[in-house]
Amino acid sequence: MKFSFELIKKDSSARLGRATTPHGSFTTPVFMPVGTKGSVKGITPHELKEMGVEIILSNTYHLYLRPGHKLVKELGGLHGFMNWQGPILTDSGGFQVFSLCKLRKITEEGVQFSSHLDGTRYALTPESAIEIQEALGADIIMPLDECTPYPAGREYTVESMNLTHRWARRCKDAKTANGQALFGIVQGGMYEDLRKESARALVDMDFDGYSIGGLSVGEEKGLMKDMVAATVAHLPQDKPRYLMGVGTPEDLVYAVEMGVDMFDCVMPTRNARNGTLFTRFGKLVIKNAQYEKDPQPIDGECGCYTCRNFSRAYLRHLFMAGEMLAPRLNTIHNLYYYTSLMRQMRQAIGDGTFDEFKKQFHGQRQEAALLGD
Amino acid sequence: MKFSFELIKKDSSARLGRATTPHGSFTTPVFMPVGTKGSVKGITPHELKEMGVEIILSNTYHLYLRPGHKLVKELGGLHGFMNWQGPILTDSGGFQVFSLCKLRKITEEGVQFSSHLDGTRYALTPESAIEIQEALGADIIMPLDECTPYPAGREYTVESMNLTHRWARRCKDAKTANGQALFGIVQGGMYEDLRKESARALVDMDFDGYSIGGLSVGEEKGLMKDMVAATVAHLPQDKPRYLMGVGTPEDLVYAVEMGVDMFDCVMPTRNARNGTLFTRFGKLVIKNAQYEKDPQPIDGECGCYTCRNFSRAYLRHLFMAGEMLAPRLNTIHNLYYYTSLMRQMRQAIGDGTFDEFKKQFHGQRQEAALLGD
């Protein structure tokens, strides 16, 4: 089965859609939990399914280094290896090379780098990034790109963007015919006109969807919003848009409002492991002394396994005692929160009430802030 | 509801029984997974239930220090706090004081010690050990005892045993009337006559059950067996016998054969975290290179969640990559193995075929050893 995307309904710029992949469909806007090394940390595929997760992301860089894409392919591809039967998206590995690796060298050909694990030299080219991702077998794959650093001057940004475009073309050419969808990644740094140029260049190449890269890299929220707007304006309505590595619940709400369809971020999972829990009213830091004897669940209206079964006091105890159950129960809650937030947004778009949803979303947070909660 | 124990059937010395507690019943012989700090590491109460666990053990020492027994009581006792609605057994804290704490001082009154967490001075007396365990609210509780060190001379062992007996009496006197069962702990080191003396002294005090303490402390297997035999011979048929902190699958089989009913040990859970998995054929060390590309489950005939869903290759990858899912999936397998082993033994005793069970149990291991598996 080939990848397809259907735009079901719009509410102003916000979009309700459905993507179909060889491993089933998912509805958008959607949040993809990150399973870096072929596992969403501490969580089984069945739990992901139970909490309403429809698609997950895994990192090519990490799987390439360990256990290796050939091994994964031999064991049934990523779906068989980790026993997740739903859609999977893999990134190209480029972002990790730029953020994790020392001694990296970018040439026209590709990027050379030292593994962050043991210093072994590796190379990644547009062609090998595709080869690796075809071996992993994800439903949606990404071309190798250079995530333009922030801040970057205009000259560097232009060069970097053009390299990303040439690499995108090579990835498209390298891709062998199969059911995997290949997205284009829009770069262009913090320059609105370059974002437009990048979007148009990639749209001309005709990808299955478009990723917005190079954001949430340290810039101010306002600047990020401007760049999302400057990109989205030049993307076609009939293809999915994916804002890479974003973000907070607030980010998801405004980006959905601007017409973004897909998101991934380590925030819900990483914060969970650090004891920071997301709720309707904002963040809750479970180690705080105020929760020591608190018999309430994290959120009395949350339907997640953690909230249905355990008190803040118990979760605080597990966290303070360094118990393995703490990150697990916290992750279940945070992913359920993110999944539910997306579901509520899909519902609101479908009902044509996204504006009301947004007011309620921000209202609950402001109210809690006023109460000092 | 008061604690009761019913001896259902004997097959030679092996016993099939049922214990009833305020939080439901469990069948014996039984293995109790250890939830040191109010959580079986990484595993939810629902998973324990699913894998057939009927009773768990939690450690008074750890909960006394953190979060404190008063907090646990306020939050519904250990059952409510950790949301495990089945039977719970707590130890007295004595063993941890002797194994974890420095600067400990034993007097007739009790034991003073420094917390292994921050050095804070605490004291535990027979009376306070009972008070703490009554606050925690376990279904079966233990008296404070001195776990006689190994090796120990006869004179020290006698003194230590007599102190344990005096403390046992004080614990019985301190216990307020409620549904909790209090067991007596037999000591006597590695001296058969002292084991007999200790068993008889405690039986004279009439406890709800009898624990065999001070074993698996470094002595040889043969010596341990002798001490179990020397103890069990002097315990009544109508009360449960609990061999504390034991042991390997092999230990469980011979101790059940000798008439022991209850066991606890960190072995299945701790070994799981270290990547050592129990199977019918012996231990499997998941990090071994031979499993790198192995598509088989840990044990093709095992019905646990891990074996039903994941390959050795994936489990090895998770372990090598330090993924949180590794200890969790490994723990599920090991606890399922232990739980199933006990179930098989109960079945065999009920059928009067314990001898055959034993032959098959050892046969599979020997065969595997011969094959070099």
Q: For each of the domains in chain A, give its residue range(s) and CATH number, in order of start.
A: 4-265 (3.20.20.105), 272-370 (no CATH)
| pTM assigned to the model | 0.97
B317: which chain A residues are within 8 Å (Cβ-Cβ)? 37-38, 66-67, 71, 81
DSSP tag of B194 = H
Count CA atoms closer than 13 A to A86's CA, side-chain side.
20
Catalytic residue among B91, B145, B208, B261: B91
Which of A42, A71, A293 faces B328 most closely, judged by CB atoms?
Answer: A42
Residue B372 has what pLDDT?
65
Read off the pLDDT of each residue in B247-270 and give the average, rounded to a whole number: 98
Distance CA A180, CA A136 (A): 11
Q: Residue B135: pLDDT band by 50, 70, 90 thresholds?
A: very high
Residue A189 has what pLDDT?
97
Lateral strand order in the sheet of A14-21: A4-11, A14-21, A24-28
Closest alpha carbon within chain A to B293: A71
pLDDT at A71 over 90: yes
Read off the pLDDT of each residue in A51-67 and give the average, rounded to a whole number: 96
pLDDT tens, A285-314? Answer: 999 999 999 999 999 999 999 999 999 999
B173 classed as catalytic: no
Read off the pLDDT of each residue in A4-33 and give the average, rounded to a whole number: 98
Is B71 part of the contact surface with chain A (CB cutoff 8 Å)? yes
A264 classed as catalytic: yes
Residue A373 has what pLDDT?
56
Closest alpha carbon within chain B to A326: B42
pLDDT at B302 over 80: yes
Sign of CA dihedral A127, A132, A136, A140: negative
A295: which chain B residues are within 8 Å (Cβ-Cβ)? 75-76
Q: Which of B75-79, B83-87, B320-324, B365-369 comes out lowest in average pLDDT?
A: B365-369
Contact between residue B314 and residue A82 where contact means Cβ atoms under 8 Å apart:
yes
pLDDT at A122 over 70: yes
DSSP three-state, residue A189: coil
Sign of CA dihedral A237, A240, A245, A249: positive
Read off the pLDDT of each residue in B264-270 and give the average, rounded to a whole number: 98
pLDDT at B373 over 70: no
Computed over every residue of chain A, the mean pLDDT equals 96
Closest CA to A150 of A106, A191, A104, A190: A190
Closest alpha carbon within chain B to A317: B67
Q: Residue A1: pLDDT band by 50, 70, 90 thresholds?
A: confident
Tokens of residue B180, six digits: 């909790």
Return all residues near B75 (Cβ < 8 A) that are at least 6 apart: A293, A295, A311, A313, A314, B81
pLDDT tens, B210-257? Answer: 999 999 999 999 999 999 999 999 999 999 999 999 999 999 999 999
Return all residues near A204 (Cβ < 8 A) that are at least 6 apart: none
pLDDT tens, A22-33? Answer: 999 999 999 999
Is A70 part of the contact surface with chain B (CB cutoff 8 Å)? no
Taking an 8 Å cut-off on Cβ atoms, the answer to whether B320 and A66 are in contact is: yes
Which of B39, B317, B324 faces A318 most closely, judged by CB atoms?
Answer: B39
Crossing angle of helices B249-257 and B354-370, rounded to 10°: 150
What is the value of ipTM here, to two decimals?
Answer: 0.97
Residue B98 has what pLDDT?
86
pLDDT at A88 over 80: yes
Q: Residue A212: pLDDT band by 50, 70, 90 thresholds?
A: very high
Taking an 8 Å cut-off on Cβ atoms, the answer to whether B42 and A42 are in contact is: yes
Distance CA A63, CA A127 (A): 17
Which of B42, B292, B318 faces A328 most closely, judged by CB atoms?
Answer: B42
Which of B46, B67, B324 faces A324 most closely, judged by CB atoms?
Answer: B324
Share of chain A above pLDDT 90, in %: 93
pLDDT tens, B335-368? Answer: 999 999 999 999 999 999 999 999 999 999 998 8
pLDDT tens, B148-203? Answer: 999 999 999 999 999 999 999 999 999 997 899 999 999 999 999 999 999 999 99
Residue A372 has what pLDDT?
66
B42: which chain A residues are within 8 Å (Cβ-Cβ)? 42, 324-325, 328
In a 10 Å sphere around its CB, with 0-12 CB exposed, 13-18 middle and 19+ buried, how is residue A76 labelled?
middle
Where is pLDDT greater, at A101 or A71? A71
Contact between residue B315 and residue B29 where contact means Cβ atoms under 8 Å apart:
no
Name the maximum alpha-carbon separation found in chain B: 60
Catalytic residue among A145, A251, A264, A299: A264
3-state percent breakdown (helix, strand, coil) of chain A, nearest 5? 45, 20, 40
Computed over every residue of chain B, the mean pLDDT equals 96
Size of interface A-B (CB pairs under 8 A): 115
Share of chain B above pLDDT 90, in %: 93
B325: which chain A residues are within 8 Å (Cβ-Cβ)? 39, 41-44
pLDDT at A253 over 80: yes
At position B21, the amino acid (one-letter code) is: T
Read off the pLDDT of each residue in A341-347 and give the average, rounded to a whole number: 98
C-alpha A102, offset from chain centre = 24
Element holding A19 (H helix, E strand): strand A14-21
Is A118 part of the contact surface with chain B (CB cutoff 8 Å)? no
C-alpha torsion A42→A286→B40→B83, nearest 10: -120
Is A311 part of the contact surface with chain B (CB cutoff 8 Å)? yes
What DSSP string describes A73-110?
Answer: HHTTHHHHHHT--S-EEE--SHHHHHHH-SS-EE-SS-
